[in-house]
Amino acid sequence: MQATTSVQQETLRQRLPVIVAILLAACVILIVRMILFQAPQDPRVAAYVEQTRNANYGTSRREIAARGTIYDRNGQPLAVNTLQYRIGISPNLVSDPNRTIAQLTAILQLDPLNVRNIVYSDNPWELVATNVIPEKWRQVDQAELGGVNAEPIPLRYYPQGALTGQVIGFVGGDRDDFRGYEGIEAYYQDILAGQTREQQVSYIPFDVPQDDERLLRGSDIVLTLDRDIQFLAETELLNALQQYDAASGTIIVMNPRNGDILAMVNAPTYDPNNYQAVDDPRLFQNPAVSIPYEPGSVFKVMTVAAGLEQGVITPLWTYNDTGTLNVGGREIRNWDRQAYGVVDVEQILVNSLNIGAATIAVEQLGMDRFYGTMARFGFGQRTGVDLQGEAPGTLKIPNIDPTWSPSDLGANSYGQGVAVTPLQMLSAFNAIANGGLMMQPRIVQQVVAADGTITNIEPSATIRVLSGETSRIVTDMMVTVVENGLDEEARIPGYTVAGKTGTAEIPLPTGQYDPNFSIVTFIGFLPADDPQLSILIKLDRPRNGYYASQTAAPTFARLAERLVLMLEIPTDDVRYALAAEGGAIINIDR
C-alpha cells in the first residue's frame, strides 16, 4: 500500500511542472489577448465588426453633392443633373403589409408576389425597385407607407442629346463610382464633381442624422461652343454624308483669332443619355482630336509656308515640272499624272502639284528645316486642347524615328505618310489666318465655382510660326486657289475665302494605298483679309465624288453661307465701306 502511494506521488510530482507550465502559458495568452483587445484594431476588422453590429439598425450610404452644370457660350445648358431613386423596405417596420403591397404594386408596376416576399422577409432591409423616376417616388412618399424609404441616385441629363455627345462625354457608374467619361466630363472631372461623404442612414424611424453639414456642389463650366453653330454644322455634315455617300466625317468651326472652338461635330456619334446602348466603344472617341489621318494636299500649304518663311524660295521662285520626281527611290507624280512645265509657287497650290511640294521640301528646305517647321506648326504633338483622349498624330523625324527613310520627305511634303488630327490641321491654318501666331485651341472659357467665384480661361498664344509677311503671302495664294483654282466650289458670293482642299489616299495594313477610296478635306477661313471664322470639313470614303473639290469644298460653302448670316458678318463691300469711315468689325462680340 505504501509503495503504491509513493508511485502516485512520484507521478504527480513529475506531471506538476507540465501542468503549471500549461496554466502559465494560458495566463500569458489571456493577458496578451486582453492587451491586444485594448490596442487599435486592424481597420478591416474594425469595419467588419461595425458593419455586423449595425446591420440591423442602419446602413452606410455615399452621399454625393450636385455635379456642376455645363453650358454653351450663350448660357444654354448642355449637361445638367437629375435624380432617380432606389426604393427599399424595412420589413420589421411595415405596419400594414397588405396596404404596402397593394400601393407599391400599383404605383411602381411591380410583381405582387415579389413585393409580398420582400414585405414578409426576415431581413432588416430589402431593395424593392431601382431607377424610379422622381414622379413615381413622390407618389410612394405621399402614400405614407411605414417602413418604405428611398435613396436618391444622381444622374446626368444632356438636353442636346447626340448633338454634343462626343465633345461633352457622359457620366456613368453607380453611387460609389459616379464619374465622367470621355470629353469635357472626363477632362474636368475634378472640377465638375461635387463633394462626397459617407452618411449613416438608420432603419429606425425618427432617428435623425446628427451631421447636417451641406456638401459643396461641383463647379459649373461655360464652353466656347455655340449650340446654334453646332446644330448648323451637324446638319451640314449629315447632309454631306448622305449626298456623297460617305462613311463618316468631321466638321470643326473656330475663331482663328483667339482659338475658340465654336463647333465640333462628328458622325456617326451617340446619345450620352443612352450610352449603355452603344455596342462599339470606338463611338465614344471624338475623331476630331482622337483619330489621326493622312491629310493629303492641304498639307502643301504648310510646305509652301515653310519654304517662304525659311527664305529658300520667294513668291517668284519657279521649277520645271516634268511630271515625275524620284525621291529616295520613290517616284512621285502629280494627282492627274500630268507635267506642268515651268511653274511658280502659287501654281503649286492652285493646281495642287505633288511634285512642286516635294521639290520645295527636298531640294530647297532639306529635312532639318522642313521637319523643324512642321514641328513648330504642332504636328506630331498634342495641341493641349482641354478634351479627353487627344492623340499626337505621327510625324517621323530623321535620326530619331528608325522607320524614317529619305522617300518620306517627299511624301510628307504633300500630306502622305504623316498623320494629323483634324484639330491639329485646322490649328495650323489658324496660325496663317492669325498673322503667323499660333493660338492655343480652347473649348472652356469660364469656370464658376460653387461659391460664385468666376475663373476666366483667357485665350493664349503658344508660338509664332510665321512672320506676318509670310502669312499674308500664303493667304493671298489660298485666295487664288479658291477664286481661280480647283477649289472654286468653295466660293461664297460677297466674301473672299482663303482655303485649300486635300484628297488623301487611305493606307492599307499591307503598306500600300487603297485605290478605290479617299479621305477628303477642305480648310478655309473668311474674310481672308480679316478672318472671323475658320472651318474644317472632312469626309471619309465618299462614294459619290472621289476628290475634295467635288465634296468637301461645296460642303464648306453651304455651311459658311449660313454662318455668315447667323453671325452677321458683313460682306467685303460693306466692310470696306465701314473701314473707309473709320469703323471695324474685329471687336464685335459673337
Tell me: do 446 and 553 sit in the same domain: yes
CA distance 302 to 429: 8
Tell me: do 236 and 218 sit in the same domain: no
Tell me: do 248 and 218 sit in the same domain: no
Is residue 46 in a domain? no
Q: At what angle do helices 97-108 and 134-142 cross, to 10 degrees?
A: 160
The reported pLDDT for the residue numbered 45 is: 55
Tell me: do 239 and 293 sit in the same domain: yes
Is residue 508 in a domain? yes
3-state secondary structure 358-390: HHHHHHHHHHHHHHHHHHHCCCCCCCCCCCCCC
Tell me: do 376 and 490 sit in the same domain: yes
DSSP assignment string, 442-470 = BSEEEEE-TTS-EEE----EEEE-S-HHH
Is residue 47 in a domain? no
195, 200, 202, 208: CA torsion to nearest 10: -70
The reported pLDDT for the residue numbered 582 is: 75
Is residue 44 in a domain? no
Tell me: do 243 and 154 sit in the same domain: no
Is residue 248 in a domain? yes
Give the type of residue at 10. E
DSSP assignment string, 403-441 = T--HHHHHHHHTTSS-BB-HHHHHHHHHHHHTTTEEEPP
pLDDT (tens, 9 = 90+) of the chain, 590 residues, equals 555 556 667 766 777 777 777 878 778 777 777 676 565 655 655 555 555 555 455 555 556 678 899 999 999 999 999 888 889 898 888 888 899 889 889 989 999 899 899 888 888 888 888 888 888 888 988 988 888 888 887 789 999 999 999 999 999 876 667 889 999 999 999 999 877 655 555 545 444 444 445 667 899 999 999 999 999 999 999 999 999 999 999 999 999 999 999 999 999 999 999 999 999 999 999 999 999 999 999 999 999 999 999 999 999 999 999 999 999 999 999 999 999 999 999 999 999 999 999 999 999 999 999 999 999 999 999 999 999 999 999 999 998 899 999 999 999 999 999 999 999 999 999 999 999 999 999 999 999 999 899 999 999 999 999 999 999 999 999 999 999 988 999 999 999 999 999 999 888 887 778 888 999 999 999 999 999 999 999 999 999 999 999 999 999 999 999 999 999 999 999 988 888 877 665 555 54
CATH number of 392's domain: 3.40.710.10
The reported pLDDT for the residue numbered 245 is: 97
Cis peptide leading into residue 531 (ω within 30°): no
Is residue 527 in a domain? yes
CATH number of 112's domain: 3.90.1310.10
C-beta of residue 338 within 8 angstroms of C-beta of residue 323? yes
Report the candidate in 485, 486, 494, 550 with the shortest Cα–Cα distance to residue 526.
494
Q: At 227, phi and psi to the nearest 5?
A: -55, -40
Cis peptide leading into residue 292 (ω within 30°): no
The reported pLDDT for the residue numbered 206 is: 45
Report the candidate in 79, 71, 426 with the shortest Cα–Cα distance to residue 224.
71
Long-range contacts of 369-373 (CB under 8 A, 24+ apart): 369/306, 369/310, 369/312, 370/303, 370/306, 370/409, 370/412, 370/413, 371/395, 371/397, 371/398, 373/302, 373/305, 373/306, 373/309, 373/310, 373/465
Q: How many structural domains are present in the chain? A: 3
The reported pLDDT for the residue numbered 208 is: 45
Tell me: do 130 and 242 sit in the same domain: no
Is residue 546 in a domain? yes
Tell me: do 65 and 113 sit in the same domain: yes
Tell me: do 481 and 572 sit in the same domain: yes
The reported pLDDT for the residue numbered 213 is: 52
Q: At 191, phi and psi to the nearest 5?
A: -80, -40
The reported pLDDT for the residue numbered 321 is: 95
Is residue 53 in a domain? no
Cell numbers describing residue 318: 519657279
Q: Which domain holds residue 34?
A: 2-39
The reported pLDDT for the residue numbered 362 is: 96
Report the candidate in 319, 355, 320 with the shortest Cα–Cα distance to residue 337.
355
H-run or E-run covering 343: strand 341-344
CA distance 230 to 164: 8
Tell me: do 184 and 115 sit in the same domain: yes
Residue after which a domain boundary falls, among 193, 223, 253:
223
The reported pLDDT for the residue numbered 485 is: 85
Residue after which a domain boundary falls, among 189, 223, 257:
223
Tell me: do 19 and 88 sit in the same domain: no
Tell me: do 329 and 234 sit in the same domain: yes
Residue after which a domain boundary falls, among 195, 223, 251:
223
